[in-house]
Chain A
Amino acid sequence: MMVDALVEALGRIVGPRWVRHRRAELKTYTMDGLPTRESYPGLVVMPGTAAEVREILRLLHLTDVPFVARGAGTGLSGGAVADGEAVLVALTRMNRILRVDPGRRRAVVEPGVVNARLSEAVAPLGLYYVPDPSSQAACTVGGNVAENAGGPHCLKYGVTTNHIAQLEVVLPDGSAVTLGSPHGEPWGPDLVGLFVGSEGMFGIATAITVRLEPMPPSVRTMLADFPTVRAASEAVSSVIATGIVPAAMEMMDRACVAAVEASIYAAGYPTDAAAVLLVELDGQPDAVDAEARIVEAILLERGAGAVRSASSPADRARLWQGRKKAFGAMGRIAPDLAVQDAVVPRSALPDIMDRIAEIRDHHRLSISNVFHAGDGNLHPNISFDRRDPEVAHRVHVACTEIMAACVAAGGSITGEHGVGSDKLDYMPWIFDAETLAAMRAVRRVFDPAERANPGKVVPIHTCREWRAARGHSLVGGVR
């Protein structure tokens, strides 16, 4: 289909003002949160309803045009970036909270609802939506579903997949299907579990039934500083070994703390410590008090210089702001920030931190570490200037070496940011050809023509049953 004809046909579905195709208009959509992947989509369409999504996908199916779904574009793996052959389906207009059922602790939302806005909306009911990625002030629930997003409080309460009960999905051929049930018990095999984290390659979720949880009656946030990252890591394991499951256990190294404290997000973290640990407990007040005493004793016994508790909700918010804005604070150090995401078994944390320091020194780079220590999910972040190709190359090599070290320690290449296009090359490090082929086959069940977010997640050339990717002509050409 000619690009003009496609613009016109999409305009008839959503209204001409919701189709963008001029280069200047497309600029906003050339990247997500990953600075190293940039590409202009063929055009952008912004549906306002599920019915429009169905019509759009039906049209793209009939005209054999690939598409990429996008929420707020805060993803960190280049997953929501489209090339010139594809239509970018931006879902930010679909931002309505359709239903809230406080008695059953469920809400039904459109994919473009901003994560934090959902929690704000249900707060008067004493409820909240648990997964809290650092980008929650901007990222959308639809994007969270696509990536199976996590966040600091996932240690106790689980990641996105644990909080989604039902999905209304438009498949890449434009047909609609409802997966799961309002309760959460799957209606047949667990297709909701399969869909969450499929990175926009199985279809577009247009209505998402989420679980809501009651706000804990009491919360205690504690801050401890440690002379070494190793001591802090061991403290984390010791806490978990007691059977106490903190709501969150977050660690920041010296470089990260320095960046935070030099920024407008300064939280009063001690800048002379090698590592700072944030531990949050929640539950009934008397239980939280008792568990806080146990945790404090462990932290001190494991070498903490001091343990202080947030004295007020404002104090607590300040402690958390430093952590949640850590990426923003690091971003101020240099023009670009390579945000990494890897997982290791918790017991491997101290060794892997030593290894990252070696890699940092060898490549003469600036790395700050902030991580979900409780579940071994690391974010070593490299501040750099990508305009210097030699530096950019060193960053690339260092990232690869860090990832290799995490995989060698028995870990995974991503804990919450997804594979997208950024980590395609790492997939064969943790999955054999047979398993990658099975993933591809499952994708083709939902999307036989492989038009939904093409080229992401599964590196096709390493699949056992490799077949040449079919050649797409450009949108502008005759198909």
Chain B
Amino acid sequence: MSDVVHGRLRALLGTGGVERDPAGLPRAIPDTADALSLVCRLAHEEGWKIRIEGHGTWLSADAPADLAVSTRALDQVLSVSPADLVATVQAGTPLEALRRRLADDGMWLALDPPGRPERSLGSIVATASAGPLRHGFGPVRDHVLGCTVATGDGRLVKAGGRVVKNVAGYDLTKLQVGGFGGFGIIAEVHLRLRALPRADVTLVARGTRDTLTSAARDVMAAELVPAALELLSPALGAEADWSLAARFLGTDAAVQSDVRRLAPIAGLAWQPLPPDRTAGFWGLVARGSQGGPITLRLGVLGDGVDDTIDLLAHDLDEGLLSAGAGAGMIRWTGDAPVERLRAVRRSAAAREIPMTLERAPWAVRRALGHFGAYREGVGQIVGRLRDTFDPGQCLQVALEGGA
């Protein structure tokens, strides 16, 4: 079987477009959106299962399949328009490569997702993994203007557009952002960019969790506008105590104004990070979220952050935990058996808190699903949407858990 698949892929993509993964599975490496769609169509016609891969830095490449499809050769920044602050990039483009490319033109993409800097844009968009900057710049969906997707049966669907404001047609892009590949493989994305801020200042305070969550509420109430306000567990911050990190981005005047007003709040001893350490600090936070095999995220309203951390600490452990104190996004990384994770999802759902499994070995993903504990009626809608975008069920994506 494996040889047949390998042979057919080679016929389709040429010798350079196919290889074998370490376990011997044929791996297609298309370098255009059209080639990607042809691979999907072939798999659909043959009834082969596809494992979607990027650079293999985030989700384990372990879904059982007849072939892997990697987006790593789709790594071109197709266009950048500084005057319009938009860019079109292929899905396999590493975030770090894009960052360097944009910085040359005085621009940036305001996303700091968990994981390694070489994580692909496609992976970030498909998992909707925003980091601490979500507080100031919104979730991943706010940065994606459109995308081109190869469906499970090999159609190319071009959702959205390249302009920052657009309501033409249904917003299919939203389905792809955070769809974990269940509605197709992202080939290209149109991104909304920003001008590089003149000032970038991070201050860190340390203390007990209670002190810091209370201080975070004070910061919010004082109407400061940090780009990030993130609570870090001792393990994630690599400190003896909890940390609260506030990042301010913008013009010098706006940043200085906020920093001045931050100092007296809640009597914390805010330590400004030296400018040359800022990027490193946030890079460690991003990488720290990969320090265990399983990553979860939970969306919590402001005053529920404390309770939800209690819930996680009680049912799992404190783990490598970061919490957007204003944006209410909690990310937990660690290890736990499926049953315990399932119990956490149920407890969270009872409090109106959705829990998304961002990252885990296939056995956990299959058992638990990226999503679950749906509200009544939602599961059927999601199922029918998947049938629409992957009628042959070729894409090995565990949106919902099995029995």
Contact = CB atoms under 8 A, between A and B. Distances in A.
Interface centre among A412, A415, A441 (most CB of B within 10 A): A412
Contact of B299 (A183, A196, A375, A416): A183
Interface in B209-243: 223-225
A9 B25 CA distance: 62
A423 B166 CA distance: 13
Contacts of B223: 214, 216-217, 284
A340 to B, nearest CB: 14
Contacts of A376: 84, 163-165
Given A287-B254, A419-B168, A185 B174 contact: no
Interface string B228-265: 00000000000000000000001111100110010000
A143 interface: no
A175 interface: yes
A471 interface: no
Given A189-B179, A190-B177, A415 B166 contact: yes
A90 to B, nearest CB: 23
Contacts of A250: none
Contacts of A106: 301
Contact of B388 (A372, A434, A438): A438
Nearest to B377: A177
Interface in B143-157: 151, 155-157
A175 B166 CA distance: 30
A458 B106 contact: no
Contact of B374 (A105, A154, A187): A187
Interface in A167-224: 171, 175-179, 181-194, 196-198, 201, 214, 216-217
Nearest to A180: B354
A36 to B, nearest CB: 19
B328 A183 contact: yes
A147 B297 CA distance: 30
Contacts of A191: 378, 381-382
Contacts of A243: 194-198, 250-251
Given A162-B138, A416-B165, A430-B161, A177 B83 contact: no
A435 B163 contact: no
Given A158-B142, A290-B251, A183 B301 contact: yes
B103 interface: no
Given A104-B303, A347-B81, A177 B163 contact: no
Contacts of A347: 81, 83-84
Interface string A442-479: 11111000000000011000000000000000000000
B377 to A, nearest CB: 4
Nearest to B376: A177
Contacts of B175: 189-190, 193-194, 442
A241 interface: yes
A324 interface: no
A152 to B, nearest CB: 12
Given A184-B299, A189-B179, A416 B195 contact: no
Given A178-B375, A189-B382, A416-B165, A439 B299 contact: no
A108 interface: no
Interface in A41-56: none
B178 interface: yes
Contacts of B177: 190, 193
B331 to A, nearest CB: 11
B195 to A, nearest CB: 4
Given A283-B254, A375-B164, A430-B168, A435 B158 contact: yes
Most buried by A among B138, B171, B373: B171
A454 to B, nearest CB: 15
A268 interface: no
A121 B168 CA distance: 32
A287 B253 contact: yes
Contacts of B375: 177-178, 187
A70 interface: no
B178 A283 contact: no
B195 A242 contact: yes
Contact of A176 (B157, B253, B299, B377): B377
B189 to A, nearest CB: 15
A251 B170 CA distance: 28
Contacts of B198: 243
B168 to A, nearest CB: 5
B371 A188 contact: yes
Nearest to A343: B163
B172 A283 contact: no
A111 interface: no
B171 A197 contact: yes
A322 to B, nearest CB: 22
B385 A445 contact: yes
A294 interface: yes
Contacts of B164: 343, 346, 375-376
Nearest to A169: B377
Interface in B67-101: 81-86
Nearest to A418: B167
A431 B167 contact: no
Contacts of A389: none
A240 B167 contact: no
Interface in B189-209: 194-198
A420 to B, nearest CB: 10
Given A189-B382, A412-B168, A291 B141 contact: no
B55 interface: no
A188 B167 contact: no
A74 to B, nearest CB: 15
Contacts of B353: 181, 183
A291 B376 contact: no
Interface in A343-379: 343-347, 372, 375-377
A347 B163 CA distance: 11
Contact of A283 (B162, B166, B225, B379): B225
A431 B354 contact: no
Most buried by B among A148, A177, A376, A419: A177
A181 B300 CA distance: 9
Given A193-B141, A435-B157, 9 more contacts: A190-B141, A193-B173, A197-B167, A237-B83, A415-B165, A430-B161, A437-B155, A444-B388, A446-B381
Nearest 5 interchain pairs by C-beta? A185-B299, A193-B174, A290-B253, A177-B377, A347-B83
29 contacts: A150-B167, A181-B353, A183-B353, A184-B299, A188-B378, A188-B379, A188-B382, A189-B385, A190-B178, A191-B382, A198-B171, A241-B106, A242-B251, A243-B250, A245-B194, A284-B225, A287-B257, A287-B258, A343-B164, A375-B164, A375-B165, A376-B163, A412-B166, A414-B168, A426-B168, A438-B151, A441-B388, A442-B170, A445-B385
